[in-house]
């Protein structure tokens, strides 16, 4: 059993995306409250900070014990060691630099740990997710192979990633390792990978292929159209996901030529 699975201290958590913030709490590696989702207010710093404080307060009220720390993920490069969030493309309110870690430590009087969302996703999958699951299945079937390396890729409003080598998270000298969203992509060499591998790409490609502008659809709607489960331009929907698939396929192909590990999408 992993050490964290024996740790009964409570930690407040936040999954900070460009569209929504999801607040929760964990104990011994398990979520112990119903997650609370709030809009990120990504363009308004005051509203964004208020949302973060209110979200943690709501979770804290539902707990029977005091939390010992706050730990959460942010989308993009930043000075995570010092808790300073800077110019993130999906959260423009923080441009210029905001000392979010110290701000929350002062407000809640407990330590605050912030890291890149792609990094933490990859590290979580390596410690308690897909990597140990695959290794366990291999062992149970008599296989001698055991994996130690993992590439984690996060899909959503933006596109992120993380690398784990021999069970150690690789962050790089400047905390910007595995910023996969900035990779070039042969599907459209004029843009970085995130412009092909993101929710807005699926929506934009559907609009282009269907000649329908300003349609109020999310990727899940376009997926249902492609499956024939929702009314719309099925051919355009299929092409939108084919475009997305070629984009992420190109990223994965490039990554695994440099970093030999299993790939997990989330």
3-state helix, strand, coil in the chain (%, to 5): 40, 25, 35
Please list the pLDDT of the chain residue by residue as tens digits (266 residues).
567 778 899 999 998 888 899 999 999 989 999 999 999 999 999 999 999 999 999 999 999 999 999 998 888 778 988 999 988 878 999 999 999 999 999 999 999 999 988 999 999 999 999 999 999 999 999 999 999 999 999 998 889 999 999 989 999 888 888 999 999 999 999 999 999 999 999 999 999 999 888 788 999 999 999 999 999 999 999 999 999 999 999 999 999 999 999 999 99
Residues 164 and 137 in one domain: yes
d(C-alpha 5, C-alpha 245), whole Å = 36
Q: Which of the listed residues 88, 110, 132 is the one where a domain comes to its end? A: 110
Residues 135 and 98 in one domain: no
Between CA 23 and CA 33, with CA 27 as vertex, the angle to 5 degrees is 40
Global pTM value: 0.83
Residues 168 and 227 in one domain: yes
CATH code of the domain covering residue 200: 3.30.420.40
Q: Which of the listed residues 110, 136, 161 is the one where a domain comes to its end? A: 110
Residue 117 falls inside a structural domain: no
In angstroms, what CA-CA distances link 153 with 54, 147, 163, 244? 29, 17, 9, 14
Residues 100 and 150 in one domain: no
Residue 118 falls inside a structural domain: no
Residue 57 falls inside a structural domain: yes
Residue 252 falls inside a structural domain: yes
Into how many domains does the chain fold? 2
φ, ψ for residue 195 (rounded to 5)?
-75, -10
Residue 144 falls inside a structural domain: yes
Residue 135 falls inside a structural domain: yes
Residues 43 and 139 in one domain: no
Task: State in Å, rounded, how far the first CA of the chain is from the last one.
Answer: 24
pLDDT at 2: 63
pLDDT at 234: 97
Exposure on the CB side of residue 202, measured as CA atoms within 13 A: 26
Residues 154 and 90 in one domain: no
pLDDT at 23: 98
Residues 132 and 254 in one domain: yes
* Nearby residues of 187 by Cβ (< 8 Å), 6 or more positions away: 196, 243, 246, 247, 250
Residues 135 and 242 in one domain: yes
In angstroms, what CA-CA distances link 156 with 19, 20, 34? 9, 11, 21
d(C-alpha 247, C-alpha 253), whole Å = 10
pLDDT at 77: 79
Residues 221 and 135 in one domain: yes
Q: What is the crossing angle of helices 117-128 and 130-140, to 10°? A: 20
Q: Which of the listed residues 56, 89, 110 is the one where a domain comes to its end? A: 110
pLDDT at 213: 82
Residues 217 and 249 in one domain: yes
Is 34 in a helix, a strand, or coil?
coil
* Residue 23: domain span: 3-110
pLDDT at 197: 97
Whose CA is closest to 59, among 108, 97, 100, 99?
A: 108
d(C-alpha 77, C-alpha 178), whole Å = 10
Residue 230 falls inside a structural domain: yes
Residues 130 and 233 in one domain: yes
Give the sign of the dihedral formed by CA 181, CA 183, CA 185, CA 189: positive
pLDDT at 155: 94
H or E segment at 50? Answer: helix 45-61
Residue 116 falls inside a structural domain: no
* Nearby residues of 72 by Cβ (< 8 Å), 6 or more positions away: 12, 13, 14, 15, 16, 113, 114
Residues 135 and 254 in one domain: yes
């Amino acid at each position: 059993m992993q050490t964290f699975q024996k740790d009964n201290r409570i930690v407040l958590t936040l999954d900070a995306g460009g569209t929504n913030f999801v607040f929760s709490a964990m104990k011994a590696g398990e979520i112990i409250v119903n997650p609370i989702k709030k809009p990120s207010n990504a363009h308004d710093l005051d509203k964004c900070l208020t949302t973060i404080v209110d979200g943690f307060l709501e979770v804290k009220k539902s707990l029977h014990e005091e939390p010992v720390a706050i730990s959460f993920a942010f989308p993009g490069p930043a000075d995570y060691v010092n808790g300073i969030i800077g110019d993130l493309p999906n959260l423009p309110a923080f441009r210029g630099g905001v000392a979010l870690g110290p701000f929350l430590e002062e407000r809640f009087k407990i330590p605050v740990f912030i890291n890149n969302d792609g990094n933490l996703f990859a590290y979580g999958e390596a410690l308690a997710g897909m990597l140990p699951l695959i290794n366990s299945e291999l062992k149970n079937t008599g296989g001698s192979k055991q994996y130690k390396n993992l590439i984690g890729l996060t899909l959503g409003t933006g596109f992120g990633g993380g690398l784990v080598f021999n069970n150690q998270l690789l962050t790089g000298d400047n905390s910007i390792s595995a910023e996969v969203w900035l990779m070039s992509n042969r599907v459209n060499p004029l843009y970085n990978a995130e412009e092909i591998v993101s929710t807005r790409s699926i929506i934009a490609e559907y609009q282009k292929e269907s000649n329908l502008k300003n349609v109020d659809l999310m990727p899940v709607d376009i997926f249902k159209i492609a499956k024939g489960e929702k009314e719309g331009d099925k051919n355009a929907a299929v092409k939108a996901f084919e475009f997305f698939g070629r984009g992420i396929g190109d990223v994965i192909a490039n990554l695994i030529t440099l970093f030999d590990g299993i790939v997990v999408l989330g």
